[in-house]
Structure 1
Amino acid sequence: MKLYTIESGNFKLDGGAMFGVVPKSIWNKTNPADENNMIDIAARCLLVEDGNRLTLIDTGMGNKQNDKFFGYYYLWGNDNIDDSLKKHGFHRDDITDVFMTHLHFDHCGGSIQWNKDKTGYEPAFKNAKFWTNKDHWEWATKPNPREKASFLKENILPMESSGQLNFVDVPSAGDFLENGPLGFDILYVDGHTDKQMIPFFNYKGKKLVFAADLLPTVGHIPLPYVMGYDTRPLLTMSEKEKFLTNAAENNFYILLEHDAHNQICTLKNTEKGVRLKDIHTFDEIFN
């Protein structure tokens, strides 16, 4: 198995929304805001090369939305999936599987694109199977009012109509699936959205976790630092506490999907609870 980080693009989100009830005077120290109260956000994906299978975990927000939509998110930088894949010697047509941690637009929007004449939509990875789970699919296709703006039908329904949609099993007991269909373990969490899937890897003698929206940035490590976007914030805190404790005790390397300035962090136990231990780049740990 070989792993590669894939940078699909950078954007900005409102800092208050990203940190919920935590005052700006506190979160601004780790995630400084601009004059519009927006903070830097990445859409970092992970590519898994395992035998003949090439799996892309999450796909960013894509580029098919209109200027008004993107105007809310202040896109910045030059990163995109195609250039990032090319850097590692791959093309999007090489992708055999696209695994989506969840179906919010900034995690799955890049999975679907306009067709050539812009009369409809088609898979952006024509040779890939798209993977979610039935519980989350039901949640996303019949969205609650709170999440409706994050579950965009043009990102989701074409996966089904293309015939490329597949479902990962949800464990009947517990919240952890060992050796899932794509060869890695999966933690299921429900605080941010129903049945978000967090991939776990045993890689080069280390435990690597793709944190998705369970831990968006290093600034979100303290337990009460929960996003305003989360549907069940108290559950997020409980899930985070369990995950962070496990990560600190077992020296997990946590790959941060949304931290624009820090790729990987490790954690430690302190008198104040679990806190940041070290920051790393992916290359310095795994290459």
Structure 2
Amino acid sequence: MKIYPIETGNFKLDGGAMFGVVPKTIWQRTNPADSNNLIDMSMRCMLIEDGNRLILIDNGTGNKQSDKFFGYYYFFGGFSLDTSLAKYGFHRDDITDVFLTHLHFDHCGGSIQWNKDRTGYEPAFKNAKFWSNKKHWKWATEPNVREKASFLKENINPIEASGQLKFVNLPEVDFGINTELGFDILFADGHTEKQMIPHIEYKGKTLVFMADLLPTVGHIPLPYVMGYDTRPLLTMDEKAKFLNNAADKNYLLFLEHDASNELCTVKHTEKGVRLDQTYKFNEVFN
């Protein structure tokens, strides 16, 4: 098995929205804001090469939305899915599986693209299965008012129409092994219904793709919860259980949205679980 970090783009979001009730004077110490109160965010995805399978976890926003839409998010950095894949010798047609942690636009927008004459949409990964789960799919296709702006029909409905949609099995508990994809999945409901957090055993370490359970290292303290979360008190409980486990077992946390830090570890302190160390991916996995 080989794993590669895939940078699909950087963007900016409102710092207050990203930290909820935490005052700016506190959160800006770890996530400094610009003059418009915006903080830097990444869309760092993961590519798993395992035998004859090439599994992409999340895929960024894609490029089919309008200039007006993208103008809200101040994209920067010059990264793209295609250039990141090419860096490791791959093309999107090589992808066999696209695993979607959840269906918010910044995680799944790259799944679907315009067709050649821009009259409709088609899968951006023509040879891949797209993986979600039944409870989250229903949640996203029948969205609540709070999340409706993040669940875009043009990102979601064409996946089902393509016939390439697959659902992982939902275990009776929130953590289980998915034998089809070869890694464990933690299901979390605070941010959105049945968000999926992959746990991958790699080179003697447990590598956890954090998605929106832990957006940045600045979100490690329990009250530091996004305003985007639908059930913030549940997020705090889920974070507490996960971070204690991560500190106990020395998990490596792969950060999807932290523009400065690719990986981190956490440790127990008298104030609770806190940041231990940060790493570049290649510092740990040469």
TM-score range, shorter chain: over 0.9
- State the distance in 1 between where 2:267 and 2:49 align: 30
Match of 1:65 in 2: 65
State the distance in 2 between where 1:119 and 1:16 align: 38
CA contact (8 A) 1:61 1:108 kept: yes
Which residue of the partner structure matches residue 127 of structure 2?
127
Provide, for residues 11-54 of structure 1, a one-character-per-residue CA deviation record: whole Å limited to 9, x for no partner. 00000000000000000010000011000000000001111110
- AA at the equivalent of 1:33: A
CA distance in 2, matches of 1:65, 1:120: 13
- In the alignment, which residue of structure 1 is the partner of 2:88? 88
1:97 maps to amino acid? D
Query: What is the correspondence of 1:177-256 to structure 2 with a 5 Å cutoff?
Result: 177-256=176-255
Q: Which whole-Å CA distance do the structure 1 matches of 2:176 and 2:193 have between them?
A: 16
Aligned partner of 1:146: which letter? R
State the Cα distance separating 1:123 from its structure 2 match: 0.3
1:259 maps to amino acid: D
Query: How far does the alpha carbon of each residue in 1:142-197 deviate from its partner, in whole angstroms, 9 at most, with x for none?
Result: 000000000000000000001110000111x2101114421111000000000000
User: SS at 1:63's partner residue?
Assistant: coil
Look up the match of 1:9.
9
Spell out, residue by residue over 1:246-270, the C-alpha distance to the aligned partner (whole angstroms, 9 max, x if none): 0011100000000000000000000
The share of aligned pairs that are identical, in percent, is: 74
State the number of aligned residues: 286
2:145 aligned with 1:153:
no
Partner of 1:275: 274
CA distance in structure 1 between the partners assigned to 2:117 and 2:75 by the alignment: 25
Which residue of 2 is the match for residue 141 of structure 1? 141
1:258 is matched with: 257
Where does residue 77 of structure 2 map in the other structure?
A: 77
Question: 2: distance between equivalents of 1:161 and 1:31?
Answer: 40
> What is the rounded CA distance, in whole Å, between the counterparts of 2:178 and 2:252 in structure 1?
19
Structure 2 residue identity aligned to 1:249: D
Is residue 10–residue 79 contact of structure 1 (8 Å, CA) maintained in 2?
yes
User: What SS does structure 2 have at the residue aligned with 1:48?
Assistant: strand
**Separation (CA, whole Å) in 2 of partners of 1:139 and 1:79:** 31
Q: What is the match of residue 112 of structure 1?
A: 112
The answer to whether the 8 A contact 2:198-2:208 is kept is: yes
8 A Cα contact 1:180 1:186, kept in partner: no
Q: 1:274 is paired with a residue of what secondary structure?
A: strand
Moved over 4 A (4+): none
TM-score normalized by structure 1? 0.99
RMSD (CA atoms)? 0.6
Superposed CA deviations along residues 91-130 of structure 1, whole A, max 9, x for unmatched, are: 0000000000000000000000001111000000011010
Distance in 1 of aligned mates of 2:200 and 2:280? 17
* Aligned-partner Cα distance in 2 for 1:15–1:62: 23
- Alignment partners' CA distance in 2, 1:98 and 1:180: 15
Alignment correspondent of 1:42: 42
* Post-superposition CA distance 1:196-241 (Å, at most 9, x none): 0000011000110000000000000000000000000000000000
**TM-score for the superposition, normalised by structure 2:** 0.99
Alignment correspondent of 1:286 = 285
Q: How far apart are the structure 2 equivalents of 1:181 and 1:19?
A: 36
Aligned partner letter, 1:256: L
Kept in 1: contact 2:169–2:178 (CA 8 A): no
CA contact (8 A) 1:57 1:99 kept: yes
**Contact 1:19-1:228 at 8 Å conserved across structures:** yes
User: Could you tell me which amino acid in structure 2 is paired with residue 38 of structure 1?
Assistant: L
